[in-house]
Amino acid sequence: MRVVVIVVAVVVLAASYLTWTAGRLDRLHARVDAAAAALDAQLVRRSAVAAALAVAAGSPAVAAAAAEARSTDGVGHDREAAENALIRVVREAALADVHPALGAELATAVTKVAFARRFYNDAVRDTLTVRRRVIPRMLRLAGSAARPTYFEIDDEAP
């Protein structure tokens, strides 16, 4: 009788742990998705401010880079390249002096992108930490959720 109770207790504890871990992975993936949406919104805002600054300064190179950044979806490697190209062109054009108000708004947008990127990368790090553990990997507790990737861009103010 005592052996049966111990076996049942072990099974209940194992099931509880697995359920908790699967739920945690689900919440972490939801956190990554929410952080990706927030990052995307900040990137769109930054490219819109850069486009407005390009129009005010008459810079077709910045306008084209901003349009390219806005047309790229998601937080993949294509988006990283487009956003890096945008910030590089804005930095080379030195448009902040042309229109100080829009330059200040761009600096604010760049700061918000930096924070959103950090939050996103923190969520990715936490998710990957749990996914790399032996039991979630062996039992495939992450399900069919895609493995998140870090988003690395140059987010220093121009």
Cα–Cα dist 75/145, whole Å: 16
CA atoms within 13 A on the CB side of 70: 15
DSSP state of 133: S
Confidence (pTM)? 0.87
CA distances from 148 to 28, 57, 122 (A): 10, 38, 11
Which domains are seen in the chain, by residue range? 2-138 (1.20.1440)
User: What pLDDT score does 158 carry?
Assistant: 66
**Residue 145 burial by CB count (10 A; 0-12/13-18/19+): exposed, middle or buried?**
middle
Reply yes or no on whether the pLDDT at 35 is more than 70.
yes
What is the per-residue pLDDT across 53-106, written as a single tens digit (0 to 9) for each?
Answer: 888 888 888 889 999 998 888 888 899 999 999 989 888 877 666 778 888 898
Going by C-beta distance under 8 Å and a sequence separation of 6 or more, which residues neighbour residue 135? 18, 21, 141
User: What pLDDT score does 95 carry?
Assistant: 65
